[in-house]
Amino acid sequence: MTRAEFSHERTLRPCTSCGIVGVVTELNPNNNGLLVICPHCESKRPWGSLLYLKQNERKRPARPPLPDGETLDSIWQKFGDRCVLCSAPKGFLHQVGIGRQVHHVAPYAEEGHRGPLVPICAQCHAVANERQRLYWFIRRVVMKPAESTVEPDAPEHRSTVVGRAVSDRQS
């Protein structure tokens, strides 16, 4: 909700906790966000899920179209109209109201549309994205090679890996 929409709604919409009209905003110094609160009952969520107001009207730029003129349907057809994780057919997903999406195997943030694209249902896509984030964290933070204070040419410790020592020293 924008600030302009909020100005109009605050005169009409009551707090869900106390039922009184007239919620206000409070500046959060930590993130500079406009927190919506009820001054009467001090509820931090007077309108349910709305927590902060948008401070500007800018929108993120849209992603460029898929490469080589591909579409959601063409990518799904290449894989037999099934989700690559759960194998649910396109018809079943439509029947139960689960959306169809395209998953970037190489994360879009790193590779754009250069990596492989696979069909995936909305339920599995959330799982796949979390797996990618966990893998990224483990690869970059947990498995990050330890910064060695030993001279790099020292024969007794040529390489180390966090969690286990690897030595090229011959006994």
Same domain, 39 and 84: no
How does pLDDT run across 94-116, given as a tens digit for each residue? 999 999 999 988 888 778 888 88
Report the DSSP pairing between strands 164-166 and 159-161: antiparallel
| DSSP three-state, residue 132 | helix
Q: Give the CA distances from residue 166 to residues 23, 142, 158, in Å, rounded to whole numbers and listed in that order.
A: 61, 16, 8
Which pLDDT does position 53 carry in this prediction? 80
Which pLDDT does position 146 carry in this prediction? 61
How does pLDDT run across 24-34, given as a tens digit for each residue? 988 877 777 78
Which pLDDT does position 147 carry in this prediction? 57
Same domain, 49 and 75: no
What is the domain extent for residue 26?
A: 3-53
The Cα 85–Cα 92 span in angstroms is 15
Q: How many domains does the chain have?
A: 2
How many C-beta atoms surround the C-beta of residue 75 within 10 A? Answer: 19
